[in-house]
């Protein structure tokens, strides 16, 4: 057993009072970089599929990462700063920050693990003061995004695969931690929630709420 504990955080609708992926598409539409007619309905459908647990993650990532391939990385990074200020900062809650700070103060190894791509989410994790992020990784060639994805998407069982890979790279296993926490709002995260010692439902969807109740898991809110 390692003396350090592990704290895993889902991002969208957990640490954030909203969804960074869904809102990124809306933001691109508002900036005139995506055609509203073409993208709005598909974005809505993908979001609904995610909530219903039937999202085709490969098709979704193809949809979500395509705009990254259409602009230079320097432009996208600048755009993301605007997105952070305009959309994300208002979604970051005092309670979420306090929870992160509590785990950091305890010396826990803190990781954001999210199905959303790491281009969108890495700056958000950083803003919360969390160094480590495991997200679905956009493919890059010569410093620019291709629109493809690299590695296993961090969705459902993919989160289990990715955290195991990430820990293995550090010479660790999930079982090495005496206490391991995973905070999530979504039933899509049940595969990983079932493996940690301390799963916590956060502003949970109906399916996760029922499951958490049956398992006597804590159910909390991080909304201000």
Domains of the chain plus CATH, in order, are 6-220 (3.40.50.1000)
Which one has a higher pLDDT value, 112 or 2? 112
Percent of the chain whose pLDDT exceeds 90: 92
pTM for the whole thing? 0.95
- Measured between its terminal Cα atoms, the distance across the chain in Å is 36
pLDDT, average across residues 205-216: 97
Q: What is the pLDDT of residues 33-66, one digit of tens each?
A: 998 988 888 989 998 999 898 999 999 999 999 9
Q: What pLDDT, on the 0 to 100 scale, is given for residue 1?
A: 58
> Quick check: 108 and 5 in contact, CB under 8 A?
yes
Q: What is the pLDDT of residues 124-170, one digit of tens each?
A: 999 999 999 999 999 999 999 999 999 999 999 999 999 999 999 99
Backbone angles phi, psi at 176, to 5 degrees: -70, -20
For tokens 């999210």, the residue is 114
Q: Calculate the alpha carbon distances from 132 to 112, 114, 148 in Å.
A: 6, 11, 22
Strand, coil or helix: 205: coil
Q: Measure the CA–CA gap between 152 and 174, rounded to whole angstroms.
A: 18
Q: What pLDDT, on the 0 to 100 scale, is given for residue 2?
A: 59
Q: Beta strands 180-184 and 198-202: pairing type?
A: parallel
Among the listed residues 76, 89, 71, the one whose alpha carbon sits nearest the alpha carbon of residue 20: 89
> Quick check: 203 and 14 in contact, CB under 8 A?
yes
Sheet containing 6-9: give its strands across: 144-150, 132-141, 109-117, 6-9, 180-184, 198-202, 219-220
For tokens 């609708």, the residue is 13
**pLDDT above 90 for 224:** no
189: how many CB neighbours lie within 10 A of its CB? 27
Q: Which residues are catalytic?
A: 10, 12
Backbone angles phi, psi at 113, to 5 degrees: -125, 115
Q: Measure the CA–CA gap between 15 and 9, rounded to whole angstroms.
A: 7
> Quick check: 187 and 205 in contact, CB under 8 A?
yes
Confidence of residue 197 (pLDDT cuts 50, 70, 90): very high
> Quick check: 217 and 200 in contact, CB under 8 A?
yes
Average confidence score pLDDT of the chain: 96
For tokens 């009072």, the residue is 17
Confidence of residue 193 (pLDDT cuts 50, 70, 90): very high
pLDDT, average across residues 77-84: 98
């Amino acid at each position: 057993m390692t003396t350090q504990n592990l704290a895993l955080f889902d991002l969208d609708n957990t640490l954030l009072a909203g969804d960074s992926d869904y809102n990124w598409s809306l933001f691109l539409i508002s900036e005139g970089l995506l055609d509203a007619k073409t993208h709005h309905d598909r974005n809505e459908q993908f979001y609904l599929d995610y909530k219903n647990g039937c999202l085709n993650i490969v098709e979704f990532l193809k949809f979500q990462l395509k705009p990254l391939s259409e602009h230079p990385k320097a432009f996208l990074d600048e755009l993301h700063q605007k997105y952070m200020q305009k959309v994300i900062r208002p979604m970051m809650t005092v309670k979420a920050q306090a929870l992160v700070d509590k785990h950091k103060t305890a010396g826990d190894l803190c990781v954001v693990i999210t199905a959303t791509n790491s281009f969108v989410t890495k700056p958000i994790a950083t803003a919360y003061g969390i160094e480590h992020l495991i997200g679905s990784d956009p493919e890059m060639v010569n410093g620019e995004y291709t629109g493809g994805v690299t590695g296993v998407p961090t969705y459902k069982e993919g989160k289990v695969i990715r955290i195991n890979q990430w820990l293995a790279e550090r010479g660790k296993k999930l079982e090495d931690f005496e206490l391991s926490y995973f905070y999530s709002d979504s039933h899509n995260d049940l595969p990983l929630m079932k493996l940690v010692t301390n799963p916590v439902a956060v502003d949970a969807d109906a399916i996760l709420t029922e499951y958490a109740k049956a398992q006597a898991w804590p159910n909390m809110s991080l909304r201000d």
